[in-house]
Amino acid sequence: MGSLRQDSCNPDCCMTEGFQPLQAEEFRKQAHIMVDFIADYYKNIEKYPVRSVVKPGYLQQALPASAPYHSEPLEDILDDVRRLIMPGITHWLSPNFFAYFPATYSTAGFLGEMLSSSFNVVGFNWLASPAATELETVVMDWLAGLLKLPSSFMFAGGNGGGGVIHGTTSEAMLCTVVAARERALNRIGGANGGRLVVYASDQTHSTFAKACKLAGIAPTNIRALATSASHDFALSPSLVRAAMQADVAAGLVPLYFCATVGTTSSNAVDSVQQLGQVAAEFGAWFHVDAAYAGSACICPEFRPYLDGVELADSLSMSPHKWLLSGLDCCCLWVRDSSALTRALSTNPEYLRNEASESKAVIDYKDWQIGTGRKFRALRLWMVLRSYGVARLQSHIRSDVRLAKRFEGLVEADERFEIVTPRRFALVCFRMKVEAGRDGAEANRELMEAVNRTGKAYMTHTVVGGGYVLRFAVGASLTEERHVDGAWSLVQEKAKELMSRAGLDCGGE
């Protein structure tokens, strides 16, 4: 392959002379076009099927095999977004999205993300952008105050605690498991890693087991303790104590115990107070995962679910699920931040600086997995300031009210039953089936029939060995009419299924 003479002019190169990828007036022009596009999407979001119906590989077939050599206008790109990308989107912001726990958004959250992106801060240490670090410490204390966390979790408490914003609960769990592992091995000796055992319930999110595996915990030392319907699928403290006692007797070391406030399957709530006492008996790191339901605890009526949190070593909750901040935003508080920094800190020469050496500042790179980090606190700060506590509480209560409404509609129809107690804004229910019929298959068919319409989207779970439909209220745009419409759709599809099976279709 030949090379160009240095004094020759390549026409393609000439086209890039004077290229300015970030020019203020061009940005203003294109940003207006993009904002209009997004606003129209929000305005018309109900017109799209909630769950995407494309087939695997559809986009590879539709797009060219290589990137364009020459630039293309924004208008052409957005045309392809409409034509090719939108059909492959499952619309999490649709008011008819009732599937997984919500990923809420808001105007304030969007504007905060826009502002954060505009600064493009890479805030790995205090010096990289002092405002990014200091605003995060302020916002984390603000939110801790709303949750009425003990001062030991706050920077203002002056006891070595504090908070950090991660992307997801997975990251928060991994960091705390690593910190717990480091602390334990310093106590029992580094050669004893194979003796470390971790505990959670069989309802704990799968991210727990994944984090433990990544931290080097042997899969045989990950305990998923059984729950039952008799305790509403909350974890029994006596069962945890018995498991830890048995492991200690076998020469193993209880390392880490995760309790959950609002499990994914059924919103079960573990007793933080009682389980924290058990963890303390065995010297295990006690983590409270309140990823979804933690947001509700800014309301006084839900705050008792966190009673006993002063016994925890760490607590995480995700404002991107229910507090309108948008992805990604997981808040982690720890009582002893030095446990994190001892396990996670690095100090290369090229990052040394006077402020860090003085120990008078926070370097958040030592509180997380990676080094680089976004200015996430700006987004959360915008949400808290734009809406205030009163509106955020109202937002939570409105979703709970809508879930209660759906629960009442289910209870009023003799063809259906509520499976687990409704907590927060999740309703777990199922269609009753006659003896001899496969209940799981019938309910799976019902769910798929509803989802195929594109008018609503639900998911399922299995609790207590039974197949259950999950109806999670919480999308930012959901109103009462959407809940009522979804229930009418469920009734319609249930009637069709029962009619095909030759069964009585009463209960309407």
Phi-psi category of 162—alpha, beta or left, where left has phi over 0 and alpha has psi -120 to 50?
left
Q: b/e map of 122-142 (b: 16 or more CB within 10 Å)?
A: ebbbbbbbeebbebbbebbbb
Residue type, 20: Q
Q: How far is C-alpha 323 from the geometric centre of its chain's CA atoms?
A: 11
The answer to whether residues 317 and 295 touch, using CB atoms and an 8 Å cutoff, is yes
pLDDT at 7: 45
Per-residue pLDDT of the chain (508 residues; tens, 9 = 90+): 344 334 444 555 555 677 889 999 999 999 999 999 999 999 999 999 999 999 999 999 999 999 999 999 999 999 999 999 999 999 999 999 999 999 999 999 999 999 999 999 999 998 899 999 999 999 999 999 999 999 999 999 888 999 999 999 999 999 999 999 999 999 999 888 899 999 999 999 999 999 999 999 999 999 999 999 888 999 999 999 999 999 999 999 999 999 999 999 999 999 999 999 999 999 999 999 999 999 999 999 999 999 999 999 999 999 999 999 999 999 999 999 999 999 999 988 888 998 888 989 999 999 999 999 999 999 999 999 999 999 999 999 999 999 999 999 999 999 999 999 999 999 999 999 876 678 899 999 999 999 999 999 999 999 989 999 999 999 999 999 999 999 999 999 999 998 887 665 555 4
The answer to whether residues 376 and 351 touch, using CB atoms and an 8 Å cutoff, is no
182 phi, psi to nearest 5 deg:
-60, -45
CA separation for the pair 321, 293 (Å, rounded):
9
The answer to whether residues 154 and 161 touch, using CB atoms and an 8 Å cutoff, is yes
pLDDT at 162: 97
pLDDT at 434: 79
CA separation for the pair 167, 173 (Å, rounded):
11
The answer to whether residues 270 and 231 touch, using CB atoms and an 8 Å cutoff, is no
The answer to whether residues 375 and 129 touch, using CB atoms and an 8 Å cutoff, is yes
Cis link prior to 328 (omega < 30° from 0)? Answer: yes
What are the distances in angstroms from CA 148 to CA 30, 36, 49, 128, 396?
Answer: 44, 40, 41, 31, 17
* Burial (CB count <10 Å: 0-12, 13-18, 19+), residue 360: exposed
* Burial (CB count <10 Å: 0-12, 13-18, 19+), residue 299: middle
Its pTM stands at 0.92
Tokens 């500042």 found at = 361
pLDDT at 499: 84
Query: CB under 8 Å to 134, separation ≥6 — which residues?
Result: 126
3-state secondary structure 268-297: CECCHHHHHHHHHHHCCEEEEECCCHHHHH
